[in-house]
Structure 1
Amino acid sequence: MKKFVRTRGSRPQSPLSPPPLPLTPVPPLVAPAKTNGHANGVGARRGDQHSTLSRYWSGSEECGGGALWEDAEFPPARALGEQRRSVQWLRPHELCANPTFFGESLAGGEEEGGGEGSGDDAAALAGQYLDDVGADRWVVDAEGAGPLSCGALWRACAALRGTPRLLARVAAPHSFRRGYCGRFRFRFWVWGEWRAVAVDDRLPARGGRLLGSRPRAARDFTLPLLEKAYAKLHGSYSSARRAELATCLRDVTGGVVQSLMLRPRAAAAAAAAAAASALIAAAPRSTLLVATAATAAPRQGLAQQSGLIGGHPYCVCGLARVRAAEEAAGEAGEEAGMLLRLRAAAGGAWSGAWSAHSAERAALSAADRAQLVTDHDEFWMSFGDFCSWFSQLELVHVGPDDWLREPALRDRRPWRAVLARRRWRRGYNAGGPPSAPTAHTNPQFHVQVEGARACHVVVAVTQQYAPARARRLLAVGVAVYELPGRRPLAVTHHCRARERPRSRAQVATFFTLPAGRYAVVPHTQRAHAEAGFLLRVLTDEHAHVWELNRDNALLQDPWRALSPDLRRLADDMRAILKCDQMEPLDAVSLRTALRRVWRSVLPSRPSLELSRALVALRDARLSGLVAARELPALCALLASWTRALHSAGARAGAGCRAPRLDAYRLRELLAAAGVSASNKVVECLVLRFARGCSAGAGGWLPADAALVALARLHLAHERYRSLYTKMKSNPLSLEEMILMTIYS
């Protein structure tokens, strides 16, 4: 038997616990002498009962006056959501004589960590405890799923118990004996940021029994309080219960989560091959592999024989390949003879083929059997059985910062990460799917892969979302194109990979790229759909990733680059308008003069806004006037811009004689006029001058507005040059900056 991916041996034993710290004695609970008629304390109405403990606890001074903290932002009525039956809200001391939290020992009661606020030291100390007792705080008991339980959350935490520092970031160590005030703080990943969520420790119960998740360690309240914080993040317990496992893994790790179905009804062979390729590529890298056991057996009557528990998470810890099985399978694909080592994160070990006492293991030589090492709760199974008994596989690609944080991931290759926050905006870059005519306007990010080794790449697009708001998500996707040479992107280029649009907060794709240059294009399923998105690109080899952008520059001097026919036009305008006899013109007088010759130089009648922009363009002294001798050159410049407008595709709209330009073609207008603008500048121009940007259309620019935009751009370049010249000698005053900003 040959090893395919080197498996890890047994974990080293945890170091000895530090000496127990002196404990602050817990004062006894004294029942109140009188009540107001409620058996559980003060309650204004049924179903909103409160605890008496908050009034008689003498704890931390943080709460003020000895009263325990109560979260006014997440009252019981809001927390229940759809649950409207009578619920008691009890604190852990009312449910258990000696409650504990992450950072406190479950075995004896001595403290493990420094309590809340100890930072990385507490997280590092909590990371030393990987024994079975500490794992029970993340796993529910046999009957531990209450009506308010979020099954996906506890399954995600159980799958992550092998990476305790990642869990410690979400649930920082607290203590019920030192500095306790009834307030617990958690953190969840929300669209690229770790959001802090604070909740009180009043938990929903009925008959003295929790209605949420009940951990296997009955005295530990880490999971119930984490569940309440997650419910607050999503708005209520009912909303949190609808979260999927992939969503919970994303929220508690911040990683890129990719879901693969293992038991589809159609194309089972293709799905198995895709899963095998993903496992082979992801296993040696900092990617957590979490599989969900199927709730139904592949064949009738086999459910009791497997030993697996349907719906529970199992972590893939390593791969191996059996030579004999590989040779027998012939050319069956990458999955031939492949074995997987899995850890039962929440119990239920495999008892089928290749398990500890199976005939397949017994048939191997002693040396080969020694290679199939396992720790507690771990087992081996074949890839075929894995696809039959498991329904879904989650790939959690962990970034480089978390790879440094978590020692359990150090024996794997880290990912390199690049991220960008952008937005699809109508009329600018909401181009839609690759088949749409405006697809070329979508945001484009280039990836340059160098070297002889192929590069594994993960691309994820996370659209902006609010967990507590029930907003319909857009269907978003991402396409990766291979670029021949250094030419710009065209949708006809070969597509290396594509994640088709789905109505999810995050879509991700995992593939391999040889050396070359590629374009990553995130897009929506429908054109003109607006949303913010976060793009993350992970690579295991050094690669250059950058956004396709342009510099802000004037490619040609508009006053010196006039063609001979435009110079003749300027001479004609001087004769027609009799410029030698005219006084300096203000904006109104300039508009009057241009209306006399607009058919020769403009696509439509000039507006007052265009006249003001032209005056400011040639008014360096801020006098509000333009010299009459400038009028012929202005007419020639307007004629040049009019030609650029028509070459960019300006057409007369329905029921409108004046031409207008599609907002998505503004960059073509700028290029035809000899102007280069960055993505942000083009976006601002669309926001300022485009009209009709509704949900079903990308908008357009009236001809007059397009000319104003060109005048403003040229004016901005003129002002920047004057600013640069002035800054060399004297600093710019605030008054001068205000004048340059307003008079433009």
Structure 2
Amino acid sequence: MKKFVRTRGSRPQSPQPPPLPALAKTNGHANGVGGARRDDQHSTLSRYWSGSEECGAGAGVRAGAGPPLWEDPDFPPARALPDKRRAAAVQWRRPYELCANPTFFGEEVAGEAEAESAAGAAGAGCQDEIGADRWRVEADGAGVLSCGALWRACAALCGTPRLLARVAPPQSFRVGYCGLFRFRFWVWSEWREVRVDDRLPTRAGRLLGSRAVARADFTLPLLEKAYAKLYGSYPAVRDAALWQALQDASGGVVQSFPLQPPAALTFHVLNSAVPRSTLLVATAAHQPKHTPRLGLIGGHPYCVSGLARVRAEAEAEAGAEAGALVRLRAAAGGAWRGAWGPPSAELAALAAADRDLLAAGPDEFWSAHTMSFAEFSARFARLELVHVGPDDWLREPALRTRRPWRAVLARRRWRRGYNAGGPSDAPTARANPHFHVQVTGSRKCHVVVAVSQQYWPERARRLHAVGFAVYELPPGAAPRDRARAPLDVTHECRAREVATFFTLPAGRYVVVPHTRPAHTDAAFLLRILTDESSAVWELNDDNALLRDLWREVSVDPAAVPPEVRHVADKMLASLKPDQRESIDAEQLRALLRRHWRALLPARPSRELCRALVALRDAALSGRLPAHELPALAALLAYWRPALTRGRACGGAVSAYGTRALLRAAGVAASNKVVECVVLRFARGLRLPPDAALLALARLHLAHERYRSLDTKMKSNPLSLEEMILMTIYS
């Protein structure tokens, strides 16, 4: 009748993560908020607290009392609620003033001894019912200051307790309590610690933020306060997006897109993402009033944890998604009661063997929240994909049954005049950073590319339009000889991160991050995830002199072209008797100014002549041997065509063509060196001829210094690039 196909992997064990470092302990008497009415007269909370010295720093001590609980000087109530009219009606209470036995992530019991052991269990409570309730809010538990995106993100990540334990490390109201709590959020490639006190906004003894189903647990309200501090205030996170909270709490690459026709595209995304280390969070659509209530709660997140197919022969020609089943986990409550949900005729019609195959684990079955793919497409409005990197895959045992991603990260910046070339249709697009991706093997490779521009959560700044283009390299082509038109996976928008999930066959590709418009200075983070054997690296050049003409002439004087030899003889003949042995920089400048049209694209500057003298002044005499003039003339004549090619108005070349100019003049330079040359010598978007000449002289001088230092020392502490950067930027 029906055929069911599904593969399962094993669930290997993973070692426990290292515990959070304990706070240094001092003893004192616990105080409440000064002048506040105590609502916990029967609380079993210890009247003593232990904490670090910083907990009492900057706080006064009331007469007849011990050290007060810590109050955050960086996030006072006036900053948390900038609206003075709203803030006037808010009372700031600590959890033990609202509840007899407040708890936090990692502790579930009231006893002192049991609390100590529970505080060391990093996130184990998330797997039981109490642990799940801490991330779910009451039916009316979203207060006026609630951040809906944050509690929805935490509820969606409840199936990965180790990841949640990193955001909200296990802490206690009994062991080491001093009123201070620490949290971590992912902010542009690093985990930032946020410390807050436990004073929470209330009105009439009721929290104004999110209130968890587990009323005694204050993990979510305190996490919400830390999130508000990260972004500046409670109103700043009131309307945060779910994808933003998911990224801040997981550190993964997050893709967000609406579930719109065609359905085949949605099925392709699910089919590709479910087996991999990617969390899928679907948001239920708000159904019209006349629609029968089938258990789903509009706006709530549901985690897609499986995809299978029960296909009849008549459905074989209806498409790949025909007969597909989607397994969901109700992250924040609400069970599906439609077709394929328990109890249903469709589920009862399955053979016992097929129902056994639907089991996801010893205590979890597909029948808990299962629906057809057609129902899924109709009942859900949005889908977030959280691509989890390999480090977090190792950290989280719940992800071990999924295929891990391989990750490459690069923190770079677009610099005006150097590599801020703009979108693919801009004339300077080839100056953008290039990253080579080589896919090997016979199977197609799933790839995630994400470009994140630098942002500051606490500062509201206008974001740039950023994106990337993916080009396929023809067989045998050089890495920079990419095709003219990018592949259709190119993506661009005005957001803090742009990400795309696609597949590539075996071959060579180039990923080019860019900004729109061109000439935009900004830092960016590039993340490339692949699931097959692949190699990713940034295109770069080695620092080298492709042709050291000065040394060639020193070995073979005949290497000087006849027309250049004629100019050099004129220069030698014009020397005064006291200049026949050597000349200084001013005398060299006077000689070159008489014959510059044959050797240089512009009149020589004093700084250029000093750099040319330094090329052959090992004794630091400040003078150039006169017999070196033919070699110098040959070198300048060799540079001249490179400096005159591609000249624009005003005689300057585009700063974006610096790399090509240097290569034409016989110098190969790394990305860092080219950037330093532009930073040091470019004037806006132009590189004047005199500045280009000076840059070439400094590059040759750096190579000469490095060779000299390398021959004198057995182990040179400096690299060639370091020597070049020191010479150029001096």
Root mean square deviation of aligned Cα? 3.0
Task: Quote the residue 1:618 is aligned against.
Answer: 616
State whether residues 40 and 88 of structure 1, in contact with CA within 8 Å, keep that contact through their aligned partners in structure 2.
no
Task: Quote the residue 1:47 is aligned against.
Answer: none
Q: How far has the Cα of 1:159 moved from its partner?
A: 0.6
| Residue number among 602, 607, 617 corresponding to 2:600 in the alignment | 602
Q: Does 1:211 align with 2:199?
A: no
State whether residues 435 and 511 of structure 2, in contact with CA within 8 Å, keep that contact through their aligned partners in structure 1.
yes
What is the rounded CA distance, in whole Å, between the counterparts of 1:426 and 1:730 in structure 2?
34
What is the rounded CA distance, in whole Å, between the counterparts of 1:345 and 1:210 in structure 2?
22
Task: Quote the residue 1:660 is aligned against.
Answer: 652
Q: How far has the Cα of 1:514 moved from its partner?
A: 1.6
Task: Quote the residue 2:516 is aligned against.
Answer: 525
| Residue number among 272, 275, 278 corresponding to 1:287 in the alignment | 278
Q: How far has the Cα of 1:412 moved from its partner?
A: 1.0
Q: How far has the Cα of 1:523 moved from its partner?
A: 1.3
Matches within 5 A, 1:256-271: 256-263=253-260, 268-269=261-262
Q: Does 1:89 align with 2:92?
A: yes
Q: Secondary structure at the match of 1:306?
A: coil
Task: Quote the residue 2:421 is aligned against.
Answer: 431
Go from structure 1 to structure 2 and tell me whether the alpha carbon gap of 1:625 and 1:254 turns closer, same or farther (over 3 Å shift): same
What is the rounded CA distance, in whole Å, between the counterparts of 2:716 and 2:147 in structure 1?
64
Instruction: Give a deviation string over 1:344-387, Cα, whole Å, max 9, x none.
Output: 01111111121112232233334334433473893111111111
Go from structure 1 to structure 2 and tell me whether the alpha carbon gap of 1:27 and 1:8 turns closer, same or farther (over 3 Å shift): farther
What is the rounded CA distance, in whole Å, between the counterparts of 1:388 and 1:502 in structure 2?
27
What is the rounded CA distance, in whole Å, between the counterparts of 2:716 and 2:304 in structure 1?
66
Q: Does 1:163 align with 2:160?
A: yes
Q: Does 1:468 align with 2:458?
A: yes
| Residue number among 374, 382, 385 corresponding to 1:384 in the alignment | 374
The one-letter amino acid paired with 2:297 is I
Instruction: Give a deviation string over 1:711-736, Cα, whole Å, max 9, x none.
Output: 1111110001001101129999xxxx
Q: Does 1:704 align with 2:702?
A: no
State whether residues 30 and 67 of structure 2, in contact with CA within 8 Å, keep that contact through their aligned partners in structure 1.
no
Task: Quote the residue 1:48 is aligned against.
Answer: none
What is the rounded CA distance, in whole Å, between the counterparts of 1:222 and 1:309 in structure 2?
24
Q: Does 1:451 align with 2:441?
A: yes
What is the rounded CA distance, in whole Å, between the counterparts of 1:208 and 1:710 in structure 2?
73
Q: How far has the Cα of 1:569 moved from its partner?
A: 1.7
Go from structure 1 to structure 2 and tell me whether the alpha carbon gap of 1:600 and 1:10 turns closer, same or farther (over 3 Å shift): closer
Go from structure 1 to structure 2 and tell me whether the alpha carbon gap of 1:40 and 1:643 turns closer, same or farther (over 3 Å shift): farther
Q: What residue ranges of structure 1 are gaps of 5+ in the alignment?
A: 13-23, 42-52, 654-658, 693-698
Q: How far has the Cα of 1:652 moved from its partner?
A: 3.0
| Residue number among 681, 695, 703 corresponding to 1:689 in the alignment | 681
Q: Does 1:727 align with 2:722?
A: no
Task: Quote the residue 2:573 is aligned against.
Answer: 578
Instruction: Give a deviation string over 1:161-197, Cα, whole Å, max 9, x none.
Output: 1111110011011111111000000111111111111
What is the rounded CA distance, in whole Å, between the counterparts of 1:672 and 1:195 in structure 2?
46
Matches within 5 A, 1:186-585: 186-263=183-260, 268-269=261-262, 272-297=263-288, 301-302=290-291, 304-324=292-312, 327-373=313-359, 375=364, 378-487=368-477, 488-490=479-481, 492-493=483-484, 495-559=486-550, 566-576=561-571, 578=573, 581=576, 583=579, 584-585=582-583
What is the rounded CA distance, in whole Å, between the counterparts of 2:135 and 2:203 in structure 1?
22
For normalisation by structure 1, the TM-score amounts to: 0.86
For normalisation by structure 2, the TM-score amounts to: 0.87
Aligned length: 682
Q: What residue ranges of structure 2 are gaps of 5+ in the alignment?
A: 14-24, 57-65
State whether residues 28 and 50 of structure 2, in contact with CA within 8 Å, keep that contact through their aligned partners in structure 1.
no
Q: How far has the Cα of 1:538 moved from its partner?
A: 1.0
What is the rounded CA distance, in whole Å, between the counterparts of 1:31 and 1:661 in structure 2?
70
Q: How far has the Cα of 1:634 moved from its partner?
A: 2.1
What is the rounded CA distance, in whole Å, between the counterparts of 2:353 and 2:372 in structure 1?
19
The one-letter amino acid paired with 1:636 is A
What is the rounded CA distance, in whole Å, between the counterparts of 1:89 and 1:100 in structure 2?
18
Go from structure 1 to structure 2 and tell me whether the alpha carbon gap of 1:743 and 1:472 turns closer, same or farther (over 3 Å shift): closer
Go from structure 1 to structure 2 and tell me whether the alpha carbon gap of 1:561 and 1:276 turns closer, same or farther (over 3 Å shift): farther
State whether residues 566 and 639 of structure 1, in contact with CA within 8 Å, keep that contact through their aligned partners in structure 2.
no
State whether residues 93 and 200 of structure 2, in contact with CA within 8 Å, keep that contact through their aligned partners in structure 1.
yes
What is the rounded CA distance, in whole Å, between the counterparts of 1:731 and 1:710 in structure 2?
24
Q: Secondary structure at the match of 1:74?
A: coil
Q: How far has the Cα of 1:417 moved from its partner?
A: 1.0
Stretch deviating more after TM superposition (456-465 or 152-161): 456-465
State whether residues 447 and 503 of structure 2, in contact with CA within 8 Å, keep that contact through their aligned partners in structure 1.
yes
Task: Quote the residue 1:44 is aligned against.
Answer: none
Q: Does 1:673 align with 2:676?
A: no
Q: How far has the Cα of 1:501 moved from its partner?
A: 1.1
Go from structure 1 to structure 2 and tell me whether the alpha carbon gap of 1:633 and 1:76 turns closer, same or farther (over 3 Å shift): same
What is the rounded CA distance, in whole Å, between the counterparts of 1:27 and 1:611 in structure 2?
73
Matches within 5 A, 1:625-664: 625-647=623-645, 649-653=646-650, 659-664=651-656
State whether residues 28 and 67 of structure 2, in contact with CA within 8 Å, keep that contact through their aligned partners in structure 1.
no
Q: Secondary structure at the match of 1:420?
A: strand
Task: Quote the residue 2:17 is aligned against.
Answer: none
State whether residues 282 and 383 of structure 2, in contact with CA within 8 Å, keep that contact through their aligned partners in structure 1.
yes
Task: Quote the residue 1:20 is aligned against.
Answer: none
Stretch deviating more after TM superposition (331-340 or 711-720): 331-340
The one-letter amino acid paired with 2:444 is A
What is the rounded CA distance, in whole Å, between the counterparts of 1:729 and 1:107 in structure 2?
64
- Taking only the aligned residue pairs, the percentage that are identical comes to 63
What is the rounded CA distance, in whole Å, between the counterparts of 1:690 and 1:549 in structure 2?
21
State whether residues 580 and 629 of structure 1, in contact with CA within 8 Å, keep that contact through their aligned partners in structure 2.
no
State whether residues 29 and 67 of structure 2, in contact with CA within 8 Å, keep that contact through their aligned partners in structure 1.
no
What is the rounded CA distance, in whole Å, between the counterparts of 2:425 and 2:632 in structure 1?
42
What is the rounded CA distance, in whole Å, between the counterparts of 1:134 and 1:156 in structure 2?
15
